[in-house]
A and B are shown apart, each in its own frame.
Chain A
């Protein structure tokens, strides 16, 4: 639990967080547009800026009180910077040893096993300047883990990477957060990364914390800042099933089953499905004779006011998760859709988040 109220002036920019309490378990994403104060807040939380003022405690331990500040090196935090910030005068191994040498001797996983886990075991004796962007971030992650942090901070660690490296590292970060149980504070301005990783989202704007909510709450809001030019999005959680003879793989929970096609069956560890509201249409009766595979019974929960002739309909699935559908205001009138009504959601396409 991070609890406090921080202010920090950097040039003409003023961070004025307002009082906050952030539950630190799983991945907490600091989300906001560039210039909203995400990085400044993270610098204030980690104690990297001596001009920070206010109060802050982590699990009851005092980190900031007025102008007094517990030095960063005593906070037991790990930090993965946007540009990795590897030490150029040390090899990959040297960078990892730097962390290990200064970590408490609690007998955690060793250098070799952490290097192997993040996929850089074969790069240990290389010069860090020869690494690719993705490899640099892997080394930075390994280095942070080897210092045995109680809180792992990541400041847009993927922003400088190509899409393939981004995907691989998202998976790695997600898995590591689960495996190690170390709470993560993750900065991004990319909604897709939030939907992939977050259990909780801290929304920032104009140097303030606007609100803190779970990913589910954040995605249930019609005006969620997570919705970009693709429009509203739902994220369904579940697990992968066995691929059948037709090449279809079920995903979902006991009550909800969505069939996936193609190579999805190989992504065994996926736990989240991303569905654009505009890819979901509604029918009053169970559809028959349509090519769309996935149609699920839902209860209409809420209908948001029309915007440009379209409405977003929040539908409750049998397992309690929320699925958004975007339909025209005209269809809504034709179908006489009202909250509380039963309907069928037809899903045209889904994206497995892996």
Chain B
């Protein structure tokens, strides 16, 4: 199909798996973090916000480099894993998954934080007076009202991870079925002067990215509107 080789299909599947898992992990991690950032008044909040935003300004190579050092065989985490008889995380799918989570963190936290901040505190007070407990308020008031921000976080995180290159190149290398995602495969093909293959995969990424963003804006416009009182 589409004239793609099994190797290219593998790269596409790997990219989708990486982006999907990254998005899932980030949603779970970001929701409490974004909630805390939206409501804290402590200095720690500013420090955390700056740390979360770092991947926006750092070159991916810097993130990849530090992660390689930490997760590699001599690193703090990688070394411990080796001591425990496990494998270190450099040049592995788990390694690039961690890298993607770090790299896309601001793209999940930022929209959620804004969505949470936009919820009037009175609505949560009202829910409490109607006997809703804390978790009940979160699921019955916060999540439905933050659905626009959730959708943004999901789409942008997924798309951003699909477009990731530098971190994976540094941390994961180029191992078929393990770390060779589409962006790496394109780089590989172009280095080998296999322009037809590079063209095919590039066109697929371009098409995917455009369709995703287009659908996102179209849906978001409708999803957000009834929430503006």
Which of the listed residues A73, A79, A98 has the most CB atoms from chain B within 10 Å of its own CB? A73
Whole-angstrom distance between the alpha carbons of A88 and B228 in the complex?
Answer: 8
Report yes or no: B128 in contact with A147, Cβ–Cβ below 8 A: no
Report yes or no: A88 in contact with B126, Cβ–Cβ below 8 A: no
Whole-angstrom distance between the alpha carbons of A81 and B125 in the complex?
Answer: 9
Which of the listed residues A78, A85, A86 has the most CB atoms from chain B within 10 Å of its own CB? A85
Contact residues in A for B145 (Cβ distance below 8 Å) = 88-89
Report yes or no: B123 in contact with A73, Cβ–Cβ below 8 A: no
Closest 10 CB pairs of A and B: A79-B129, A85-B126, A72-B128, A102-B131, A85-B122, A89-B144, A73-B131, A99-B130, A88-B229, A147-B130
Interface positions of A from 60 to 87, Cβ below 8 Å from B? 71-74, 76-79, 81, 83, 85-87
**Interchain CB contact (< 8 A) of B129 among A72, A87, A89, A129:** A72
Known contacts A87-B141, A89-B227; is-contact A81 B122 (Cβ 8 Å): yes
Whole-angstrom distance between the alpha carbons of A99 and B127 in the complex?
Answer: 8
Whole-angstrom distance between the alpha carbons of A88 and B126 in the complex?
Answer: 12
Known contacts A88-B227, A129-B229; is-contact A71 B128 (Cβ 8 Å): yes
Interface residues of B (CB under 8 A from A): 120, 122-123, 125-133, 136, 140-141, 144-145, 226-227, 229
Report yes or no: A73 in contact with B227, Cβ–Cβ below 8 A: no
Report yes or no: A83 in contact with B122, Cβ–Cβ below 8 A: yes
Q: Does A127 contact B (CB under 8 A)?
A: yes
Contact residues in B for A144 (Cβ distance below 8 Å) = 129-130
Q: Does A118 contact B (CB under 8 A)?
A: no
Whole-angstrom distance between the alpha carbons of A77 and B131 in the complex?
Answer: 8
Report yes or no: B226 in contact with A88, Cβ–Cβ below 8 A: yes
Q: Does A208 contact B (CB under 8 A)?
A: no
Contact residues in B for A143 (Cβ distance below 8 Å) = 130
Nearest chain B CB to A217 CB, angstrom units: 31
Report yes or no: A98 in contact with B125, Cβ–Cβ below 8 A: no
Contact residues in A for B132 (Cβ distance below 8 Å) = 73, 98, 102
Interface size on A, residues (CB 8 A): 27
Which of the listed residues B128, B144, B226, B229 has the most CB atoms from chain A within 10 Å of its own CB? B128
Whole-angstrom distance between the alpha carbons of A195 and B133 in the complex?
Answer: 37
Nearest chain A CB to B116 CB, angstrom units: 14
Report yes or no: A98 in contact with B130, Cβ–Cβ below 8 A: yes
Report yes or no: B131 in contact with A79, Cβ–Cβ below 8 A: no
Contact residues in A for B133 (Cβ distance below 8 Å) = 71, 73
Known contacts A87-B123, A89-B144, A89-B145; is-contact A78 B226 (Cβ 8 Å): no
Residue interface bits A20-62, CB-to-B below 8 A is 1, else 0 = 0000000000000000000000000010100000000000000
Nearest chain B CB to A297 CB, angstrom units: 50
Report yes or no: A46 in contact with B131, Cβ–Cβ below 8 A: no
Report yes or no: A127 in contact with B131, Cβ–Cβ below 8 A: no
Whole-angstrom distance between the alpha carbons of A260 and B136 in the complex?
Answer: 54
**Interchain CB contact (< 8 A) of A129 among B120, B125, B128, B226:** B226
Residue interface bits A136-157, CB-to-B below 8 A is 1, else 0 = 0000000110010000010000
Whole-angstrom distance between the alpha carbons of A99 and B126 in the complex?
Answer: 10
Nearest chain B CB to A218 CB, angstrom units: 28
Which of the listed residues B131, B132, B229 has the most CB atoms from chain A within 10 Å of its own CB? B131
Can you list 28 A-B pairs with a CB-CB distance of less than 8 A?
A48-B125, A48-B128, A71-B128, A71-B133, A72-B125, A73-B129, A77-B129, A79-B125, A79-B126, A81-B122, A81-B125, A85-B125, A87-B123, A88-B145, A88-B227, A89-B145, A89-B226, A98-B127, A98-B130, A98-B132, A99-B130, A102-B131, A102-B136, A143-B130, A144-B129, A147-B129, A147-B131, A153-B129
